[in-house]
Amino acid sequence: MKSVQEPVNSKTINLLNFDRKGLAAFFVELGEKPFRATQLLKWIYQEEVEDFDLMTNLSKSLRAYLSEHCYLATPDIALEKVASDGTCKWVMQTDCGNRVETVFIPEEGRGTLCVSSQIGCALACTFCSTAQQGFNRNLTTAEIIGQLIVAQKRLGSAQKITNVVMMGMGEPLLNFDNAVAAMNLMMDDFTFGLSKRRVTISTSGVVPAMYRLTEVCDVSLAVSLHAVTDELRDELVPINKKYPLKLLMEACRDNAKIAPRRTVTFEYVMLDGINDSMQDARGLIKLLKTVPAKINLIPFNPFPGSSYRCSDKDTINRFKTVLNDAGIVTTIRKTRGEDIDAACGQLVGQVKDKSRRHLKLQQEDSGRAA
């Protein structure tokens, strides 16, 4: 496929921006039958054919049109790092001078790809390195699904991507349409064919988009919780000021109604002396009492400039025991790729910040110094 750095001349339509429904609409506009979408998906994703002239079950006139006006382009790999535990991080170049990060985590019997949805992040969660970089723009569908295409080609047949988590850079529900189209492609039988249980989208709590997601895309949901009171969550996850815990829990209960035995995964970063007390654990039990839940405890991964420290192992284990004893399935996320800054909360990329957050932070620092 074309690199994002290669000129595409007069070609203006990157067909990787369409899921099957979008492609069908595209072909109908051209006066073609909707089933052309399925044919094209099979050529691109299953046969890995990039030359439209070789797509022999398309008419010559359609192939000529596609060759003249359309192209297939994925991000470039600008940098690759492999950790001591086998975790692989790719820094991928977009066509606007920014870079995002994608991480592959190999495990026995599975391979998980952590995919970015935005260049930077606008939500400013205080414990996350990505959030400190500011925000530039949403990734296109092609740039999101392109991370999966590029990663699988890079890994080759020796390692298969079996799971995708939308937990990289950005808040995917603030890039709703592009993220959903990309996930539709991941799950399409004529592309990657991933099970809906193997595609997970993570959100910090964009409540209206959570309801919308329930209506249009059945994937696994993970919620970045990190606190059991609005006061603390306002500080750690500032979007809580707009959508407080009561509204968030209502949206989670709504999502859990999609299917029998459906659970929502709650991510909870362990911060020493901040949210790791036994009182916090009991508060978490009370908060999730009416939500079918699993909890993923995440040891905090430090980054330059952060004032937080990770809770010690004994504290994390005690926290887990309290939750498990209350009947809530609780796991401790194994830190992977820490030596290449690929662990949870460490993804940075290269962001030309359009949010002017760095100026605000400088003003706040100056005010505190005065």
User: What pLDDT, on a 0 to 100 scale, did the predictor assign at position 338?
Assistant: 58
Strands 329-332 and 293-299: parallel
Q: What's the Cα-to-Cα distance from 40 to each of 68, 159, 165, rounded to whole Å?
A: 16, 26, 26
d(CA 235, CA 100): 26
Angle at 67 between CA 62 and CA 71, to 5 degrees: 120
* CATH number, position 268: 3.20.20.70
**Residue 272 near residue 312 (C-beta atoms within 8 A):** yes
- Do both 115 and 54 map to the same domain? no
Residues across the chain: 370
pLDDT for res 337 = 52
What CA–CA distance (Å, rounded) separates 224 from 203?
6
* CATH number of the domain bearing residue 69: 1.10.150.530
Q: Which residue, of 51, 73, 95, is where some domain finishes?
A: 73
Domain hosting 29: range is 2-73
Please give the pLDDT value at position 151.
96
Same domain, 84 and 231: yes
Q: How many other C-beta atoms are found inside a 10 Å radius of the C-beta of residue 367?
A: 8
**What pLDDT shows up at residue 8?**
47
Closest CA to 338 of 304, 298, 302, 296: 302
Are 108 and 167 members of one domain? yes
- For 206-216, the pLDDT digits (tens) are 999 999 999 99
Domain count within the chain: 2
> Does 48 participate in catalysis according to the annotation?
no
Q: What H or E segment, with its residue span, contains residue 358?
A: helix 357-369
Establish whether 344 is a catalytic residue. yes
Q: Domain for residue 25, yes or no?
A: yes
Residue where the block lists tokens 């790809």: 113
d(CA 69, CA 151): 27
Write down which residue in 56, 73, 90 finishes a domain. Answer: 73
Amino acid at 242: K
Residues 6+ apart with CB under 8 A from 189: none
Instruction: Give the lowest-confidence range in 3-17, 90-104, 111-125, 135-149.
Output: 3-17
pLDDT tens sequence across 275-284: 999 999 999 9
CA dihedral in degrees (85, 87, 88, 94; nearest 10)?
Answer: -150
* Same domain for 131 and 18: no
Same domain, 134 and 102: yes
Mean pLDDT throughout 116-123? Answer: 91
Q: Using DSSP, state whether 102 is helix, strand or coil.
A: strand
Element (H, E) at 295: strand 293-299
Q: Give the C-alpha distances (Å, rounded to integers) separating 12 from 23, 66, 70, 119, 286.
A: 15, 10, 6, 22, 53
Among candidates 230, 206, 196, 225, which has minimal Cα distance to 291? 225
Identify the active-site residue in 32, 88, 101, 171. 101
pLDDT at 103 over 90: yes
Burial class (CB in 10 A: 0-12, 13-18, 19+), 2: middle
pLDDT in tens, 258-308: 877 789 999 999 999 999 999 999 999 999 999 999 999 999 988 888 889
Q: Which of 39, 73, 107 is the C-terminal boundary of a domain?
A: 73
Residues 6+ apart with CB under 8 A from 316: 270, 276, 297, 299, 332
Q: Could you give the CA distance from residue 50 to residue 26 in angstroms, rounded to a whole number?
A: 18
* 125 shares its domain with 53: no
List, for residues 323-368, the tens digit of each pLDDT value.
999 999 999 988 755 555 544 444 444 445 555 544 444 444 444 4
10 Å Cβ neighbour count for 230? 14
Alpha helix (H) residue ranges in the chain:
20-29, 36-41, 60-69, 141-155, 176-187, 207-216, 230-236, 245-256, 278-287, 313-325, 357-369
Q: How far apart are CA 145 and CA 188, in angstroms?
A: 12
Q: What is the pLDDT of residues 15-37, one digit of tens each?
A: 999 999 999 999 999 999 999 99
Q: In this structure, what token pair is assigned to residue 123?
A: 């939500």
